[in-house]
A = this chain, B = another copy of it.
Amino acid sequence: MNVNPIQLFDSESSTFTYILVADDETSAVIIDPVDHNCERDLAHLERLGLKLAFVLETHAHADHVTSAGKLREVTGARAAVPSGCGITPAEVQLSDGDIIRFGPDERIEVLHTPGHTAGSVSYLWRGNVFTGDTLLIDGCGRTDFQSGSAHALYESVTGKLFTLADATPVWPGHDYKGQSVSTIGWEKRHNARLVNRSEEDFCELMAALDLPKPTLIDIAVPANKNLGLADGA
């Protein structure tokens, strides 16, 4: 049976934050926390009696600012981030295949899944995959900034994520339609961006999206490379 994460939502940026609780019901990690929810998230940890071992990021976000630095300060957790994201103040720089351990016996495996950004990773924990903005429910992240690459995203999704077991729950970094979770099997069969499209067709589609520049990108990316802390903080 799959053990689910606790899924928290930020209604401003439609970002999901996840709390993964260890078998001892005492140790936890948090993935992709959002700055203005810091108090809310600390209250969750307190209510559940959880001690934070790690703050994890899937990438340096362009649409919201992380609370990783603040959570690290308050809780004593370590910050663990993808090595390719330029998040230099984090003590743990993760590469493909790395294992993060917490609690008595928890393992999180790092999958490098570039495309949305060059450094983006996904995390595997107890049969669940946390895909950040690489693979969304019936969609995928954009690939037009931060060294994004539609080619790389196609390869990450079809060549890596889609090799996971069909029943693997997929917990995305965002959703804009009230959806919460999918599975690898469903996305393989139905994802509107990826199914029945060659790599070339997919890249054409992504290039044609012509999305507006994210409002916060010039603030968020530099802030997130500093774990959300003001310079020198």
Residues of chain A at the chain B interface (Cβ within 8 Å): 1-11, 21-23, 25, 37, 40, 43-44, 46-49, 137, 167, 169, 177-183, 185-186
Contact = CB atoms under 8 A, between A and B. Distances in A.
A169 B28 CA distance: 15
Contact of A8 (B1, B25, B37, B178): B178
5 contacts: A1-B21, A10-B178, A40-B179, A44-B181, A49-B186
Given A21-B2, A167-B25, A49 B185 contact: yes
Nearest to A48: B183
Contacts of A181: 6, 44, 47-48
B169 A44 contact: no
Contacts of A6: 4, 7, 180-181
Given A1-B23, A44-B181, A179-B44, A49 B167 contact: yes
A6 to B, nearest CB: 6
Contacts of A8: 178, 180
A184 to B, nearest CB: 10
